[in-house]
Structure 1
Amino acid sequence: MFTGEGKFLASVNDVSHYIVNQGLSIYDNIIGIQNFLISAKNVVLNNKFVPDDLKGEVDKANKLIDSVGSLPRIKSQDITDEIRKLLKQINTALITITVFMLLLAFLGFLFSILGMKTCVYMFVVIGWIVITLTFFLCGLFLVFHNIVSDTCIAMDEWIQDPMADSAMGEVLPCFDMAFGEEIKEAGKGVTTNVNDLLNQFITVLANNNTANNQSGPFVPLICDPYKHGDSQESCGDEVPLKNATEEWKKYVCQVSEDGDCTTPGRLTPDMYTEMIKAVNISNGLYDYNPFIAGVADCSIIQDTLKNITTNHCPGLKKYSEWVYSGLVAATGSVMFSLFFWVLYARERRHRKYTKRINKGYDESPLVGGKKL
């Protein structure tokens, strides 16, 4: 029973940590998206800003994120606290009752051997009270075992046929499609507009020989992933978002005190820094697209539940059954011990009584050749 209890509590702890970590991961990703959107409003390249209508879309998306973004973190913290309390109570109850039952069985057996009838009967009464409580605990654990099994079955059925509502949605929120599309469109708009600003900046300043005394090969334009994809093959002569930082570094020149290039190159260090800030925002929002789609179509919850049913449910069901079976076995053992205490005490008393009668018979005087 103790082995099953330890493994069961470990399994519960593992699955709770997994769910909480998933919730926190969603929260961190949502906040990451929001930070990129806010930063995009401040992008300035060659005195050019993102359009005002795009800033309006960003503000609208940020309001949506503010309304639901903290939900996974709040629910995760609540679940962590509740699970810790539950695990502590279960562990304390099982250890206390088990130790008390072992102590009761030992003392009852000792008192029955010593013939302490009063103590034996007192322990019998206490034993039945403990047995009643233990059977009640067995019933509770059986209910808990059934809840675990039913929950795992329900999660598996939900994976096969996703439904609109789920208790898991409180921790791993599955937002509606409108939310996902709103955030996705805002991110797409930011990425496209920032890329346009970057390409204008490269064309007007970087590839202009008169701006800062630049020379050498032209800086490649940024490739729009929504139009041409994000691989070098699909982008052709343009540079993919994910490669822009390293590629543009090749075009940085050394500068004089006046800020003009003194070595071949088309980007001054300051120009390169501003371009990298902008491209990181653009690339960051593009990289979040799969996450946004996963939240909107519930695939994140499906993957989470699938992991639980595959990797955690078998252990939870098996170890909860171990604890239940151990409790039943321990309770049955103590119950039989109560009967044996009483029988042994009565047998011992009967032997003493018989021995005393026989002793009196042996010591009585003879009358007519017979014992009185």
Structure 2
Amino acid sequence: MLIFTSSHSFLIFFFTIFLLYSTSGISIHVHSSHLPVDVEELVEDSKANTTLVLARERTRRIDIFNHFEYYNGGWNISNHGYIMSVVSTAIPFFVVAAIWFVVFGILNILCMCYHCCYGDPYGHSQLAYYVSLIFLILCTIATIGGCILLYSSEQKVHGTTSNTMKYVVSQVEFTNENLKNVSNYLDSAKKISIELGLPRDIDKGIHSVQKKIMVTSNDLSKKTRNTSKMLHNGSEGMRLALITVAISMVIVSILGFLTTILGLKCILYSLVVAGWILVAGTFILSGAFVLLHNVIGDTCVAMDEWALNPTTHTAMDETIPCMKNERVRETLLQSKSIVFHLVNSINDIISNDLNGNTISHNQSAPNVPLLCNPFNSDFTIRHCAAEEVAFENASEVWKSYTPSENDNMIGLMTPSLYRQLTTIVNVSYGLYHYGPFLVDLIDCTFVRKMFIDINNNYCPGLNKYTKHIYWALVVVSVAVMLSLIFWIVYERHLHHRHYIILS
């Protein structure tokens, strides 16, 4: 029971790392080197009538619990049929464990009863004696080899899961950093909007975006803590179970071989009882890892197919509650509106106070170039005019229009005004820069890219090494099971051989 529980904990961990994290707000890197960015492309309309069955071919397997019918519903952890079809793959191992435990136990009881009632049938076969010895040696070698493979594969699974977790944590840290930056820019934008007397809707829009960011950030932190704790418990439980099995099987196998050869009957039968229980537990653990291997394989295929089909409806949509397109557009429009009005406020200051026909304006001074607004009034992408400056070089260009503190030139940008405008530019650019990031965070684009990375870099290793683990467990189980039989056979023939020689 302890072994099965440990493996089950690791199964829960796997679901958590790929599913709970996907609901929490893990980000991907936003490439900001190309501006302006048409973020409208990030939120294309969904094809509501299209449904994709994830991992259809891989998950098509016989469901023992459904009259041995094939399951055809694809990957769907909320579907009882899918869960039962995966559990069905482990049932043969659980059945073998039960049969072994019952049958071997009954046969041992019958043999002991026969021995007590009728004594030993003194017969000896030279062929049976040597054959049992050869098989005993081979089974012992197979047990040791299987345990070595088991330990090696467990180390590789642990390393792969650790690397996967490090990747996820790096995404969490990157996201938290971006969320902090966005929050800081929004705080600055709120202060600026009050100072400039911008429309009240702008302040409401800033508050709305900040609220969504706070919810996402809090959810991210909570899920990260929960998943990390479950990861640690599940991973350590799995390691303890596998290492315990490997060490126990090696010790029992070697001691059983030695006590059989030496004819230590009492110790041998104690080891037979221990091996009998261990074999049953190892078969159960084998079944648990077959189940785990299939879940990992199914989930990896499902993640890949879901990531490559962003406009279709799938079972993954129920697991990952991404924001609907309407809310994505609303958030996007709010962030665009903030940037649009901030840039317009800068250009109003430049046009009216610096380039305008006022008394303080020096007509001989050149006009200060306007800042390029990346959006039109309807918030579509706008291309910069030739005389406008972009976010990236506005501060540098305007600096040439700013006299020093002791310069009494009239009509140019004062140092204090220059600092005010560059502050607004930095805030506007920051919000514009993080606009795609916010959309990715909300509409699950980041999850799709993360799933692709996990599927390409970590899934192959997890599939390979979990398969090695359950095959190693099967080899060890069968080898020890046969060893128990040959221990008894060889010990009886050794006892009869000594009786014949003495007589």
| Alpha-carbon separation, structure 2, partners of 1:273 and 1:299 | 37
| Alpha-carbon separation, structure 1, partners of 2:339 and 2:307 | 34
| Alpha-carbon separation, structure 2, partners of 1:106 and 1:241 | 74
| SS of match in other structure, 1:222 | coil
Structure 1: which 5+ residue stretches go unaligned?
A: 358-372
- Greater relative contact order (Cα 8 A, min sep 6): structure 1 or 2? 2
Q: Match of 1:239?
A: 389
Displacement of 1:122: 1.1
Question: Number of residue pairs matched?
Answer: 348
| Alpha-carbon separation, structure 2, partners of 1:272 and 1:324 | 68
| Alpha-carbon separation, structure 1, partners of 2:235 and 2:417 | 57
Higher mean displacement: 59-68 or 90-99: 59-68
Distance 1:262 1:215, change over 3 A: farther
Q: Match of 2:399?
A: 249
Contact in 1 for aligned 2:402/2:412 (Cα 8 Å): yes
Higher mean displacement: 158-167 or 348-357: 158-167
| Alpha-carbon separation, structure 2, partners of 1:11 and 1:118 | 44
Deviations 1:270-294 (A, max 9, x none): 3222222111111111112222333
Q: Match of 2:229?
A: 81
Q: Between the two proteins, what is the percent identity of the paired residues?
A: 32
Q: Match of 2:58?
A: none
Contact in 2 for aligned 1:229/1:235 (Cα 8 Å): no
Structure 2: which 5+ residue stretches go unaligned?
A: 1-149
2:367 is equivalent to residue 218 of structure 1:
yes
Question: What aligned pairs does 1:95-244 form with structure 2 within 5 A after superposition?
Answer: 95-161=243-309, 162-163=312-313, 166=316, 174-207=322-355, 217-227=366-376, 234-244=384-394
TM-score (norm 2): 0.63
TM-score (norm 1): 0.83
2:446 is equivalent to residue 300 of structure 1:
yes
Distance 1:183 1:24, change over 3 A: farther
Question: What aligned pairs does 1:327-342 form with structure 2 within 5 A after superposition?
Answer: 327-342=473-488
**Matching residue's letter, 1:197:** S
| Alpha-carbon separation, structure 2, partners of 1:63 and 1:21 | 24
Deviations 1:337-370 (A, max 9, x none): 223322332222122211110xxxxxxxxxxxxx
Question: What aligned pairs does 1:270-349 form with structure 2 within 5 A after superposition?
Answer: 270-349=416-495
| Alpha-carbon separation, structure 2, partners of 1:8 and 1:89 | 13
| SS of match in other structure, 1:226 | coil
Distance 1:222 1:129, change over 3 A: same
Q: Match of 2:163?
A: 14
The partner residue of 1:91 within 230, 239, 263 is: 239
Q: Match of 1:368?
A: none
| SS of match in other structure, 2:367 | coil
| Structure label with greater radius of gyration | 1
Distance 1:167 1:196, change over 3 A: closer
| SS of match in other structure, 1:288 | helix
Higher mean displacement: 65-74 or 95-104: 65-74
| Alpha-carbon separation, structure 1, partners of 2:178 and 2:318 | 18
The partner residue of 1:70 within 218, 236, 257 is: 218
- What value does the CA root-mean-square deviation take over the aligned residues? 2.9
Distance 1:30 1:177, change over 3 A: farther
| Alpha-carbon separation, structure 2, partners of 1:298 and 1:117 | 65
Q: Match of 2:192?
A: 43
| SS of match in other structure, 2:393 | helix
Deviations 1:149-180 (A, max 9, x none): 1112222332344436637955xx62222332
